[in-house]
């Protein structure tokens, strides 16, 4: 229970690596907040993860919606001890050669 009394926020926690990470964090004692864009996979992830998870539908490419969702989550669970920024789609640029415009 290495993460007991910790709160983790995982973007893209409704599938793949994010969902697997959420499972591990919960098993280690953390309270977990997950985000996702797809309501169906988000609901399925919330059900699979069980009690102790907060699921938020949010598109992390929308900065205002992301800030609002994170504020709502913090009001429910308190401060975040861990943030796993997992959501995103890789581009076709080598690591280190991505410009800020490409990143955005």
pLDDT in tens, 12-56: 999 999 999 999 999 999 999 999 999 999 999 999 999 879 999
Residue 19 within a domain: no
Total domains in the chain come to: 1
In the 8-state DSSP scheme, what is residue 44? H
pLDDT, position 38: 94
Taking only the tens place, the pLDDT of each residue in 52-68 is: 799 999 988 888 998 99
* Domain, as residue range, for 57: 1-12+47-62+75-88
Residue 36 within a domain: no
Integer CA distances (angstroms), 15 to 32, 65, 83, in order: 14, 20, 16
Residue 80 within a domain: yes
Ranges of beta strands (E only) in the chain are 7-11, 31-36, 53-57, 82-85
Integer CA distances (angstroms), 70 to 11, 84, 94, 95, in order: 10, 13, 30, 28
Residue 101 within a domain: no
Residue 68 within a domain: no
The yes-or-no verdict on residue 6 having pLDDT over 80 is: yes
The yes-or-no verdict on residue 97 having pLDDT over 80 is: no
pLDDT, position 61: 83
pLDDT, position 48: 96
Residue 1 within a domain: yes
Residue 84 within a domain: yes
Segment among 4-8, 16-20, 89-93 with least mean pLDDT: 89-93
What CA dihedral angle connects 96, 81, 34 and 29, to 10 degrees?
120
Three-state DSSP class for residue 13: coil
Three-state DSSP class for residue 27: helix
Residue 81 within a domain: yes
Other beta carbons within 10 angstroms of residue 65's beta carbon come to 14
For the residues 88-100, what does the mean pLDDT come to? 68
pLDDT, position 95: 64
């Amino acid at each position: 229970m290495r993460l007991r009394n910790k709160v983790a926020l995982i973007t893209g926690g409704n599938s793949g690596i994010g969902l697997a990470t959420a499972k591990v964090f919960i098993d280690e004692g953390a309270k977990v907040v997950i985000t996702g864009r797809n309501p169906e996979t988000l609901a399925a992830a919330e059900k699979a993860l069980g009690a102790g998870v907060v699921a938020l539908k949010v598109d992390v490419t929308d900065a205002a919606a992301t800030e609002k969702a994170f504020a709502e989550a913090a009001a429910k669970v308190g401060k975040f001890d861990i943030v796993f920024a997992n959501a995103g789609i890789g581009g076709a640029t080598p690591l280190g050669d991505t410009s800020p415009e490409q990143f955005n």
